[in-house]
Structure 1
Amino acid sequence: MANNRITVLLCLLSILAGRSVGSESFSGQTERERLRAIKPVIVHAEIIKEPASVPSAHASTIVETDDGLLAAWFGGTYERHPDVSIYTSGFRNGQWSDPVMVADGVQDESQRFPCWNPVLFKRENGDLILYYKVGPSPSTWWGEYKISTDEGETWSAMETIPRGCLGPVKNKPVILPGGKILYPTSIEIVGKWNVYMEMSDQDLTDWEKIEIDNNGFDAIQPSVLFHKDGALQILCRSKNESVVESWSYDNGKTWSPLTATELPNNNSGTDAVTLSNGLQLIIYNPVTSGRNKLAIAGSYDGKIWEKLIDIEDQPAGEFSYPAIIQDKEGNIHVTYTYNRERIKYVQLKL
């Protein structure tokens, strides 16, 4: 009888604490049910055209413009080849324009380096900024950028990001309350991967670095999410078979040590976005090896995640390095590497 009373008491205490004995929290169950009820629908999908002279494409980025969308990626003979340059294509009236080369790694008449990982971003005055990397390898590259005042039709001369900073390493920056630009970034030195953050003014001056305790993880390429309580969260690629995270509760000035999430990772890039309704989305490879599957998962609290839709699920192939945004009408736009040959575009509605 005493044992029965103890069991009942434990159950009551568990219920009051929001958890049932031996199972997930009631709040967690409700959260998962809410997420499972979300049914994204693909409304448009196509391969963005590529010049015949460019056999390889990778690491795309996408941004909304006043009259449509603009995508960018690096393309050339193959990744690391000195001829790899940055290309852009605009989506207007339902069509992607012919790609245009907008940046290269030419140093002088005798020296040229490959370009890497473009990132498109619109600052508060409406200018588009194209950030990208130049250099022989990720361990030796540096950051450059160009600015467009006409929605990506033309670009300024190249500017170099101050030495010691890189700018966004793969995923889009965000504008913080108060106007500062926060850059999710990382370094890839042989034997050491490390996530950290950078910050600048809107005019791309006063750059500063913000260190993060990587807590023993080998992680790179973070993306930033906003939560209703003012917290910021980053989600990062890792070599540790999990997407890893860090949190900031002071507008990005300090960050918690990295920890693993429940999301798998195959040591390939991800991207994430906070929707206008507060739903968090991550686009990722939902596996720990291979790149033949690509999916979108959702969360309301950044902790409990549910896969919402498979974007690619094929026996073989590479579908990787995605980018994801929401436009002002609420549509979701995605680009990603398609078999290392082209960039694929997908539009979804929730």
Structure 2
Amino acid sequence: MKTLFRFFHKSILLCILSINSQAQTPPNFLIKSEFIFSTDEFPECHASSIVQTHDGLLVTWFAGTQEKNPDVSIYASRFSGDKWSKPIELANGIQSPTLRYPCWNPVLFQVPQGDLLLFYKVGPDPVHWWGMIRRSKDEGKTWSQPERLPEGILGPIKNKPVWLANKTILCPTSTELDGWKLYFEYSKDLGKTWQKSSFLNDGKNIMAIQPSVLFHPKGKLQLLCRSQNDAILEAYSNDNGMTWSEVQKTNLPNPNSGTDALTLKDGRHLLVYNHTIRYTGKWGGPRSPINVAISKEGKKWFAVAELETEPGEFSYPAIIQSSDGMIHIIYTWKRKTIKHVVVDPKKISGKEIINGQWPK
């Protein structure tokens, strides 16, 4: 009898292990999943950005004791072989020996055949911060001195700028000064001078920040953004982002958390976001799971994957597609590190998201 019991016990255990192993098998489109630095490197980190370099990748983020604390600085790590380099500080908010402000939301952008730009914000909070920029002529190995952007120009607020066919840098941005309002900043001289569009929303009925930009045929642009309206919002432009249609809700939820979107080389659109609803919490809403969706035309979205599903914060994604066609997604992992995943776009597909419901 004992022998029979041990046999069944072992069989059940093997069955459970087999099921767990199958559940943990990564989807075939996921090429790599890794931390950029160890979870004990900083007390807290957030808001990363990524760019491809000649020899690999460069990632930036802010880190310190806690968001909004004066010791929060901008850091970077480079991948140029088989591992990520040790983080180095790129910028801080020191104003004088007795005054220091936190840094916020770094954004990297490589001007085609030009400088690599690092945008970031400095100030006590998102209402009173100002825009800063540093420039690199060697893909981030060395940098110019920090420059304050012109008064009223913040730079891209979270998501990467885009390069338009008319050789304009278009920066998706927003303000929290008098309600949450979307607008765009643009430069026609490679970032030397800047102009800005009108606001796209009133900041009261429609409360939106942190847009990203998608490309459609015949020069049409689409924005997707974070909101306090329980949904990802969208608008369209037919004049290179100078004017936009009315900002409206999509059928995708948003818990007042950052998103990012990208038009792939094959014309499809990829979106990374938290597919959850809003509640009152420390950061505005639940930021798990973090989801990937894809669309052919930017209207019907199809569920690709949940990158993280356990409790915790998985947020503020950034996406690029590298020259080899692979998709690189980075995001905040529990405010303890930045996670990097690589996705093969040829292997992704999904079920349609209908009425805002993530398909099971």
Shorter-chain TM range is 0.7 to 0.9
Alignment correspondent of 1:333: 328
Structure having the higher strand fraction is 1
Whole-angstrom distance in 2 between the partners of 1:306 and 1:334: 18
Q: Aligned AA for 1:70?
A: L
Q: How does 1:65-80 map to 2 (within 5 A)?
A: 65-80=53-68
* CA displacement at 1:207 relative to structure 2: 1.2
What is the Cα deviation at residue 205 of structure 1?
2.8
Once the two structures are superposed, the pairs formed by residues 190-201 of structure 1 within 5 Å of their partners are 192-201=179-188
**TM-score, structure 2 length as denominator?**
0.84
**Paired position in structure 1 for 2:88:** 100
d(CA) in 1 for partners of 2:191 and 2:206? 30
1:297 equivalent in alignment to 2:259: no
> Match for residue 33 of structure 1?
none
- Provide the identity percentage: 49
Answering whether residue 30 of structure 2 is matched by residue 42 of structure 1, we say yes
Q: Which amino acid aligns with 1:144?
A: M
In the TM superposition, what are the counterparts of 1:271-290 in structure 2 within 5 Å?
271-289=260-278, 290=286
Q: Is the 8 A contact 2:314 2:333 kept in 1?
A: yes
Return the letter of the residue paired with 2:182: V
* Equivalent position of 1:8 in the other structure: none
Aligned counterparts of 1:126 and 1:199: Cα–Cα separation in 2:
16
Corresponding residue to 1:141 among 122, 129, 152: 129
- Deviation track 1:247-303 (CA, whole Å, cap 9, x = no partner) reads 001111211110001111110000011100000011000111411100111111111
Counterpart pick for 1:169 among 157, 167, 185:
157
Q: How does 1:110-149 map to 2 (within 5 A)?
A: 110-149=98-137
> Which residue of 1 is the match for residue 177 of structure 2?
189
Matches within 5 A, 1:218-257: 218-257=207-246
Runs of 4+ in 1 over 3 A off after TM superposition: 50-53
How far, CA to CA, are the matches of 1:50 and 1:211 in structure 2?
Answer: 42
- DSSP 3-state at the match of 1:220: strand
- The aligned counterpart of 1:203 is 190
Structure 2 unmatched runs, 5+: 1-26, 279-285, 346-360
Structure 1 counterpart of 2:343, from 332, 345, 348: 348
Measured after TM superposition, the shift of residue 51 of structure 1 is 8.7
> RMSD of the alignment, in Å?
1.4
TM (normalized to structure 1)? 0.86
**C-alpha displacement of 1:55:** 1.0
The 10-residue stretch of structure 1 (60-69 or 43-52) with the greater mean CA deviation from structure 2: 43-52
- 2:180 is paired with a residue whose SS is strand
Does structure 1 retain, via aligned residues, the 8 Å contact 2:169–2:190?
Answer: no
